[in-house]
Amino acid sequence: MTIEKIHVEISELKLDQSIAKNFVSSNSHGACTIFEGVTRDHSDNRKVKFLEYECYKPMAIKKLKQICEEIIEKWDVKVSILHRIGKLEIGEVSLIVATGSPHRKEGIQACEYSVDRIKEIVPIWKKEFFEGGSIWIEDENGFRPFS
């Protein structure tokens, strides 16, 4: 039986980094890389109050798994991606990517690749609520659905 190398989750609950870390850990690994995306209090000179994330869940899960499959094709790693949805206060974690690998280089590269790729193909949207209004953040140039 092949060892499960990928793990993805989308949750309305606070993300638990230990789930990602435990999934990717192995006695044969010399590196564990963890990225956390955190809700920031400003954006384009706007003072952000909170964020809301919405997703098309079955497709988002499918696309996160696709990214993980791309990663294990390219690098010898285990990978876990956790994405939060719903309302997030400033300072809360919206995304966790963890990779475990025999050596640090592939783990760091795989982690960066997945964070970049999520913004290209995963149907998750962010609405920013700031003083005086709200706006959907849509990156037409970064969106690469057919890549």
CB of 27 to another protein, least distance (A): 30
7 part of the interface to another protein, by CB under 8 A: no
Q: Which residues of 77-116 are buried (b: 16+ CB within 10 A; e: fewer)?
A: bbbbbbbbbeebeeeebbbbbbbbbeeeebbbbbbebbee
CB of 28 to another protein, least distance (A): 29
DSSP code of 140? T
Per CB under 8 A, contacts with another protein among 32-51 are 35, 37-38, 40
Q: Which of 77, 95, 98, 110 binds another protein (CB under 8 A)?
A: 95
Per CB under 8 A, contacts with another protein among 125-144 are 125-127, 136-140, 142-143
83 part of the interface to another protein, by CB under 8 A: yes
Q: Is the dihedral of CA 52, 9, 145, 72 positive or negative?
A: positive
The DSSP secondary structure of 50-100, one letter per residue, reads EEEEEE-HHHHHHHHHHHHHHHHHHSS-EEEEEEE-EEEETT-EEEEEEEE
102/123 with CB nearer another protein:
123
CB of 142 to another protein, least distance (A): 7
32/96 with CB nearer another protein:
96
- Count CB neighbours of 42 within 10 A: 10
Query: By the criterion CB under 8 A, which residues form the site for another protein?
Result: 35, 37-38, 40, 53-56, 58-60, 62, 83, 94-95, 115, 118-127, 136-140, 142-143, 145-146
